[in-house]
Structure 1
């Protein structure tokens, strides 16, 4: 989901700039439409955060809605930064940076449990100690 959002931002940066510029403009002609789109996007993100938090609880004081807004904002800014200033950054690097917000919002992992499925990375070879 985050990777697709970052790809969209890279493909349609003018739309994203318009959205960012108009989103918080009190008297903007697009306010109603953009508020509805924002609510739809946040509902999808909140559902994903809720699924993750059902497997690994959020830290005390952290809410599903708060994490969803943080992810929304981080994806916007990271995607625009990548598109405008750092095209050398891969989608994967940008995705992992945005996902780090989710990992920071979760309670520390207990032994024997794995990160939520949405946060899995490629398996690592066992280390010889």
Structure 2
């Protein structure tokens, strides 16, 4: 994996912050851990629920495991706020487990970017709600 630059770059405007959020949504919906990890610095710090990660290799391993458990994962992100090098988003995603139980997971993320547009910190708080298949909002 390389540490290419990832436009748009800070400082963010409303337009470029929206572009960053859409790019993240698109990448996560690919369910390709290596693709997702390229948006983060080599030593990126994460808190995802109660899991703490550091670096792209840990991110890739985490996402592989996540998408083996969270089947037919589909995500929507919404820009909440931004500053020069930080973005806050609200999100929800739907998935089901091996037994067929559907969930909608809600959360907030705080992102911090370096000058090359790579995310150096990601802090996510997430809650899961069991739902029926007929309650789904996100198309797979």
Same-fold call, TM cutoff 0.5: no
> Which structure features the higher share of helix residues?
1
Taking structure 2 as the reference length, the TM-score comes to: 0.28
> Which structure features the higher share of strand residues?
2
Higher RCO structure (Cα 8 Å, ≥6 apart):
1
Taking structure 1 as the reference length, the TM-score comes to: 0.29
